[in-house]
Structure 1
Amino acid sequence: MTAAEVSAEPSGTVSRRWIAAYCLATVGTFAGWFGPLQILLAKQSDVFAPAGKEDLLALVALLGAAVSAVANPVWGALSDRTTSRFGMRIPWIVGGTIGGVAGLLLLASAQGVGMMIIGWCLVQLALNAPFAALSAAIPDQVPLAKRGTAGGYFGLAQTVGVIVGTGLAVLGSSIVGGYLACSVFVLLSVAPYVLLRKDIVISRAERPARMRLSDFWISPRRYPDFGWAWLTRFLMNVGYSIALLYLLFFLKDQVKLADPDSGVLILTVVNALTVLATVMLGGVWSDRVGKRKIFVSASGVIMGVAALLLAVWPTWTGAVTAAAILGTGYGAYLSVDFALLTQVLPAAVDRAKDLGVLNVATSLPQVLAPVIAAPIVSSLGGYPVLYGVAGVVTVVGALLVHKIRSVS
């Protein structure tokens, strides 16, 4: 392809086979993340440090998210410059998946805190490669007018991935069994997408210039809409990450639920069902009316209300209700936010790198969430204050989306 062809917006349609394979690969990537995040890392923390399980989980989550924040834009930049005959994105999907499986197997065999940290950091490092490549595949392949619908499929697959990962972690019947189940599924999930081999192939002559460290800084003064989009996503994900980090411990210590493991699974399913009800609706509706910002702001306010509900109603009924409300807002947010982000990218030839920079606004909150949440839970008011903070931060982020000028 020529540089002009790579930079041009795609036209036409994508096949149903591509959509199905793309969604399955995305499901696998998120299952590899959320099986550990929802269940397995918390259970390992309880085994290795029962008296300080919250602090250990916070440390592991923080270090893994720090790795993720760096890895995603780097993998994206490398995929933008890949001249393999298999395409720009597919080699990173294959390599990252294999590395992610290795990290999950390392976690399964961990005998102490050190190996647990190394294993989780490897999972975060490796699985960000397929995530960066799959994120860029939408602006690579899907026309602008269909980005909301494509974002809906992307969000749908992420949600199913969370359910599958959590289910595999629970049904594995042990920590080791959970990790093994997740690793097998992650490995198999990418095969159909890889075998389709639908990817952009560029020659060495058309490869973008070599990346410099300074290229990862995208000036908000020069690209203000990109900056506001980044800040909006960052604040909303700070609130979301704070709300989810200690969910298992919230059910165990605050709600006093007899079986908190199953409680997390039930809440995940409730949340996912409401996400599934709105994720495609939000994306398709956004495409039809040609607007993005109103959907992002409305969904963010709904998510904030769900977090505030946990602060004032810390019961099992309150948790189920909040999970349903959160899913309603998060579904529309997932699809429309991604479509909006693809419309504020500075340069088409750096799609994966720039989306990686935007994805830092998702991973960086995972670094900050333990720093914010741990002292609140231990000494600054406990879970009511924690979820109150999460709700307020989410709503503020949702309202800032209206600072973006180039997107309706």
Structure 2
Amino acid sequence: MSQPADSERAAFVPQTTVVSDAPSVAGGLADGLGAEADEQKRAPARNVVAVLLIALGIGFGTLMPAMVALPVVIARITPESKDVVLGAVLGLQAFLGMALAPFFGALSDRTTSRFGMRRPGIAIGGTSIVVGLVILGLATNVPMIFLGTFFMAIGSSISGASSFAVIPDSFPDRSRGKILGFKALTGSLAGLTASIIGPMLLSNQFALFGVGAGVLTVCYLIAVPLIQDRHLDRADVPKQSLLANAFSGYRFNPKSAPDFSWVFVSRFIFTLGIAFCTTFAVYFLTDELRVSAEELPPLIALNSIISLAGTAAGTLIGAFLADKVPSRKAMVMVAASILSAGAIIVAFSPTPNIFFIGTTLLALSVGLFIPTDGALVMSVLPGGNAHAAKFMAIIGIADQLPRSLGASIAPAIIAVGAFTALGGYPVLYIAGGVAALIGGFTIRMVRGAR
């Protein structure tokens, strides 16, 4: 639920340092990170542990509902309009994540609490996520589904804005990539584990959401006190109003930086294709492939495992190749072609086995796209690193807005597709493949980067 912009948010960085009486201890991963840092800013081992624990809790708390629980519970509550409701719920979640992240990021940067700058936001956000999960576990109607989703989205925005800021607060530039990599891996492993456990709990709705709430609570109870936090003096709070500071980051003239603008457009369209091809997998299995209720739980688990493991594998490949290949733009086009191929295979799959072949290609393409396009974004930031936080926040819109739009307009595509010989869900996957191709080949318009 957080977006890439969170990790780079530092529009206002006052001249304060990490405040703690504890010495900087390096052990395990922190040893390697601390060796790279200068003496003034070592990587505190306790913050490494805290960041990974938060990723673990968020992975359990948010991925299982999105990948396993919500589609099944919504189908039980409102089977006639399940695709519309699921699309609206996920669209709301993505929209709130995009719209509120800058506000809560600015609020975190201005927090002068005696508990630190980041701890309050992490604690409040985690509490909101748990409240949302409890509401979803008790939900018996659509309004309760939306209410629980609202609390989860708000909590993810608050917690994400503060927890991502711990990384630039605590770790030198040369160590941040490693921390982010381990953080992403921890979140993926948590989501993978949750996707295995989730299908075993389909008969117990409260447990389906409650397990994630419990794991998140334990992780946060350990992580929040563990954080070696910064403390901001009231004199260092910027004079600009909170709202002005939060939303000024969205101001941008596309003509002033055409390469960045084309990368934005490319990512937006590609991500729209991803949204079309990954949101309604459960319904494709039940409505197109006629998977029975008894057969569904292990297939949901397998689909989640393939999606998370495939994305992780693609990410590792992309991370290795992004700095090696002559053209990152070519790699983006390759990722688009792979996603399109996977979408076509899924659309015409006659059996679950063929469906999973297509799903594997979809996951690999998404993983390949993430580091490649991310590196490309970094190479075309207007003004170099001088305004990195602002433009990373803007590129975050290209990640979140199409997920919201995609989930919202997908039911209309499904409805139109139902009048064709192919059927509604196959047409949606084909539309996703076409969008990915358009987005991938749009990257050719970038002239100032390889």
Structure 2 length as normaliser, TM-score? Answer: 0.77
User: Which residues of structure 1 form unaligned runs of 5+?
Assistant: none
The 1:214–1:119 alpha-carbon spacing in structure 2 relative to 1, beyond 3 Å, is closer
| Distance of 1:151 and 1:230 partners within structure 2 | 22
Residue 367 of structure 1 corresponds to: 404
Point out the more displaced range, 172-181 or 197-206: 197-206
Q: Does 1:271 align with 2:301?
A: no
Cα distance in 1 for partners of 2:349, 2:269 equals: 24
Residue in 1 that maps onto 2:442 = 400
Rg larger for: 2
In the TM superposition, what whole-angstrom CA distance separates every residue of 1:62-88 from its partner, at most 9, and x where no partner exists?
A: 333332232222222222333345444
SS in 2 for 1:114: helix
Displacement over 6 Å in runs of 4+: 288-291, 345-353
| Bigger shift: residues 113-122 or 340-349 | 340-349
Q: Which amino acid aligns with 1:182?
A: G
Q: 1:205 aligns with which of 216, 222, 235?
A: 235
Q: Which residue of 1 aligns with 2:60?
A: 31
Does structure 2 retain, via aligned residues, the 8 Å contact 1:83–1:203? Answer: yes
Equivalent residues of 1:145, 1:287 under 8 A apart = no
State the distance in 1 between where 2:309 and 2:385 align.
Answer: 35
Matches within 5 A, 1:29-178: 29-141=58-170, 149-173=178-202, 174-178=204-208
Q: Which residue of 2 aligns with 1:186?
A: 216
Q: 388-397 or 344-353: which moved more?
A: 344-353
Confirm or deny that 1:305 pairs with 2:335: no
How many Å separate the matches in 2 of 1:197 and 1:20?
A: 9
Shift of 1:96: 0.6
Task: Give the Å deviation of 1:236.
Answer: 2.2
CA deviations 1:271-325 (Å, max 9, x no partner) are: 2223333423432554577986555443343233322321233431222112222
Please, which of 237, 247, 265 is the counterpart of residue 281 of structure 2?
A: 247
Q: Distance in 2 between matches of 1:335 and 1:158?
A: 16
**Separation in 2, partners of 1:86, 1:297:** 47
Q: 1:183: Cα distance to partner?
A: 0.8
CA distance in 2, matches of 1:98, 1:320: 36
2:237 alignment partner AA: R
**Whole-angstrom CA distance in 1 between matches of 2:105 and 2:389:** 4
Contact 1:310/1:322 (CA < 8 Å) preserved in 2?
Answer: yes
Aligned twin of 1:317:
353
CA distance in 1, matches of 2:233, 2:264: 32
AA matched with 2:404: V
How far apart, CA to CA, are the structure 1 residues paired with 2:447 and 2:318? Answer: 21
**TM-superposed deviation, 1:147:** 5.8
Q: Does 1:377 align with 2:406?
A: no
Letter of the 1:27 partner, please give it.
L
- Spell out the pairing of 1:212-251 with structure 2 (5 A cutoff): 212=244, 214-219=247-252, 220-251=254-285
1:179-224 CA-partner distances (Å, limit 9, x unpaired): 1111111222334543442444443333343341751423133454
Superposed displacement of residue 48, structure 1: 1.8
RMSD between aligned residues: 3.4
Distance in 2 between residues matched to 1:144 and 1:229, nearest whole Å: 24
5+ residue gaps in structure 2?
1-11, 18-33
Aligned residue in 2 for 1:389:
431
How many Å separate the matches in 2 of 1:360 and 1:405?
Answer: 22
Contact 2:138 / 2:205 at 8 angstroms: preserved in 1?
no
Structure ranking higher in helix proportion: 1
Q: Do the aligned residues in 1 keep the contact of 2:43 with 2:172 (CA within 8 Å)?
A: no
Instruction: Give the fraction of aligned pairs with identical amino acids, expressed as a percent.
Output: 25
Q: Which amino acid aligns with 1:367?
A: S
Query: What residue identity is the alignment partner of 2:309?
Result: L
Deviation digits for residues 367-389 of structure 1 (CA, Å, limit 9, x no counterpart)? 21233311222232422221111
Contact 1:88-1:202 at 8 Å conserved across structures: yes
Counterpart-to-counterpart distance in 2, 1:356 and 1:168:
34
Report if the CA contact (8 A) 1:79-1:133 is conserved: yes
Match of 2:9 in 1: none
Deviation at 1:169, TM superposition (A): 2.9
3-state SS of 1:221 partner:
helix
Residues 218 and 340 of structure 1: CA distance in aligned 2, closer, same or farther (over 3 Å): farther
Which residue type is aligned with residue 374 of structure 1? P
